[in-house]
Structure 1
Amino acid sequence: MKSMFRATRLLAALTLGLATTLAASAQTLRIAVTDIVGLENLQREYAPFQKILSDKSGMKVELFPVPNRTAAVEALNAKKIDLVLTGPAEYVVFKKRTDAKLVVGFSRPEYYGSVVTLVGSGVDGVEDLKGKKVALGDVGSTSRHLAPIQVLADLGLQPQRDVQVMHINRNVAVEAMKRGDVAAIGINRTDLPGLSKKFPDVVFKVIARGRDLPNDVLLAGAHVPDAVVSNMKKVFTENSEALISAVLLGPDENQKFRGMAFIPNIADSDYNYVRKMYATIGQPQFATFVGD
C-alpha cells in the first residue's frame, strides 16, 4: 500500500512538472526596450532578435513599445510586459520600484565616460575646471551625464558646487568649447571618433577617463516564474552567437553593442557604482529617472 501511495505521489509530481514545462513553453513574453520609442523603431532594431529568441526559447516573444522609462516601470508592475532591456542608470530605478529579476547582461565594450577638452585650452586636469562650465549630454544619460559627473567627483571636485554643469548637444558643446564658453565636455568613448571626424580642425584632449560602466541588462518582472527566468538564462548561454548576430542587425541604436557578449552571472551589487552617481547628483533614493 505504501509503495502504491509513493508511486501515485511520484506520478502526480511528474505530471505537475510536465504541465509546468508545457505551460512555460507556450507562454507569451512581451519585451520592451527603454531607449527606443515607437513600434516601427523597435521592430527595425529588434525584430531579428525577437525571432531568434522565440525560436530558441520555445516561447512566443512579442515586442512591446513604451513611450518612456516611467511607462516601462508601470507596465512591468501591471504585468503588461514581462521583460525589459534597459541601461545601468535605469536599472537601479527599476530595481527600486519593481523588484525586477536580473536575466542577462548585454555588455558594451569600452563603455565609459570621459571628460574632454581641447589642446591649448589651458585645462590640463580636472582641478583646472573648478569654477568653470562643463557641458554634458542628456540629463540622466549613464555615460554622457552621470559617468562624467562621477569622474569629477572621484578626482576631488564637488560637481554641484565646484563646476557649472550645462546639458547641450555634443556638436554644440564642441563649438562652445572652441569659443571658450565652456571649459570641457563629458562624453562616452564612442563619441570621440565621430567628433574628431566632424571637427578635423580640433585636437581633443582627454583629461579624465571613468571606470568601465556596468552592463545594459535584460530584466524580468517579479511576476515571471523563476523557471522561466532560468530557462531564458540558458537560452542566452547556449545560443549567444545567433542572438548577438540578431542584435547587431539593428542598424542604428544597436550598433553600440558591437563586440558585445551576454553576461549571465550579473548581480545587483554590480550597479552600486551607478547608485553612487545618483548620490553625487543629489538623488540618493534612486526612485525616479533623472530628467523625466
Structure 2
Amino acid sequence: MSEPVLIERRDHVTWITLNREARRNALNEDVVRRIAAGIDAAGSDGLSRAIVLTGAGDKAFCAGADLARDADGSAFTARFAQPRHFMVDLFKRLLDCQLPVVARVNGHAMAGGFGLLCACDMAVAADDIRIGTTESRIGLSPMMILPHMMRILPPRRLQEMCITGEPFSSREALEWGVLNYVVPRAELDHKLDWLLARIVDKSPTAIRLGKHAFNAMRDMSLGEAMEVAQVMIHGMSSTEDAREGRAAFQEKRVPVWTGR
C-alpha cells in the first residue's frame, strides 16, 4: 500500500504531496498528521527554504474531508479528551511555519481542501480547476476553515460561497486574491519553479522574521503594528543575513545567506 502523504526534499524545497488520488486526495486524521509532520521536518532540517503542498494526479488538489463510508479518522470525529482538533492543529502549524508554503493547485480544491489552500502563503493553479466550500450541500457549514478564508476572500463573496455551496473558477479566485497565479495546466510546474526560484535565493532570516511580523500585524490596529515594526527592524538589521546583504550590495556580489 502506498503512503498517503509523500514527503521529499528537492534541493532547497520540501514537497508534501497528498497521495490519495483514488479518493481525490481527501483528508483524514492520518493524512492531516502526516502533513503536519512534513511541515515540522522541513522547518527543522536546516536545508529547506520553502514548502510546496500539492495533490497527486490532475483531478484534485484536495477534496476536503473523506466522506466515504469506509473512511478512517473522519475530520468530523470528536476527540473530547484532546484540547485541539487535528485539523486546527494543522492550520496552526501552517500559520506558525517559518518557511514560505506554496500551494501547487493541480486540481479542484473543495471544502477542507480549499481551507488548506487558503492557509498557504501563496498559490499557483492550473486554469481548469475549481474551488469552493460545498459543506452546505451535506448539512454543514465550513466553520473549521472559515478563519483562514475570512483573511483572504471579500466578505460578500465568501458569504455567497458558504451559503450556496457552489464552486467557482480559478479565474474568479485569481480576481479575489485567493490565487497568486493561474496558468494553463501544461505551464503549472514552470510557473511554480519560477516562483520558487524567487523565494529560495532570498535571506531565510528576512523571510522568517517577515512572516512572523506579517501574521502578527494583520491582527493589530495600525498604531500597534507600527510599534511592533520599529522594534523588529532594529533586531532584524543586526542579523548575520542583514550584514551579509549590505556587504554583498556594496561589493556588487551575490550574497551568501547563513539564515542567522
TM-score of the pair, normalised by structure 2? 0.22
Q: Which has the larger radius of gyration?
A: 1
